[in-house]
Every structure is written in structure tokens, then in C-alpha cells.
Amino acid sequence: MARNDIRLRRNRMQAGNIARHRNYGELLQRHEREQKFRRYFKLFGYFLVVAFLIILLVIVVRWEQRKKVKEKQKQTTSYVWKPAHH
């Protein structure tokens, strides 16, 4: 069973043809673009983490406040004076 396609090339590729594709300036531009994108992506990641932490903090603070209010309510209801039945 043939697994790969083996081909015999009569001519070696000309160096001039390869030179047509060689362009370091373009590669450098692409690299800078990608680095910029990576930087923004990283920044966005940090922003998400910070936003998540802030949301978490707000939820915890609110939850604690509610807890305190409930406890206060409990305390006030337990001190309600009920007159004795005559």
C-alpha cells in the first residue's frame, strides 16, 4: 500500500525563484503586528481577571451586608416584648 507520494524532480528550484519570496521587512512587520496583538490580548486578559475580582468582591461585600442586616433583624425580633396574658 502506497503511503506517501514520492516524486522525482528533474530540476532543482532556482535561487531566483526563492529570492522572490524572501522578505524580512514584511516578516518584521507581521511580527510587530502579532506582538502588538499579543500585548493587547494580555492586557484584555488582565482586565478580565481584575473585572472578575471586582465583581467577586462586590458580591461578597453585598452578601455580608445582607447577612448583617438579617442578623440585626433577627436580634430585633427576638427582643420584641410580648405582654403576658391575663
Partner 1 sequence: MTEAEIRDEYNILEKSRKDSRAFGSLYEKYYDKIFYFIYRQTEDEDVTADLCSQTFLNALNNVEKFEFRGLPVSAWFYRIAANEVNKFYKKKKASRVFSIEEMRVKELVELANFDWDEEMIQKLLQHLKELPTEMLEVLELRFFEDKDFKEIAFILNITESGAKMRTYRAIDKLRSYFNQKGKYDGKK
Residues in contact with partner 1 by the rule CB under 8 A: 1-10, 12-13, 15, 17-18, 21-22, 24, 26-28, 30-32, 34-35
Alpha carbons 26 and 33: distance in angstroms, whole number: 11
Q: Which is nearer to partner 1, 6 or 84 (CB)?
A: 6
Residue 18: phi and psi, rounded to 5, are -70, -40
Q: How far is the CB of 47 from partner 1 (least distance, A)?
A: 23
Q: How far is the CB of 46 from partner 1 (least distance, A)?
A: 19
Alpha carbons 10 and 70: distance in angstroms, whole number: 87
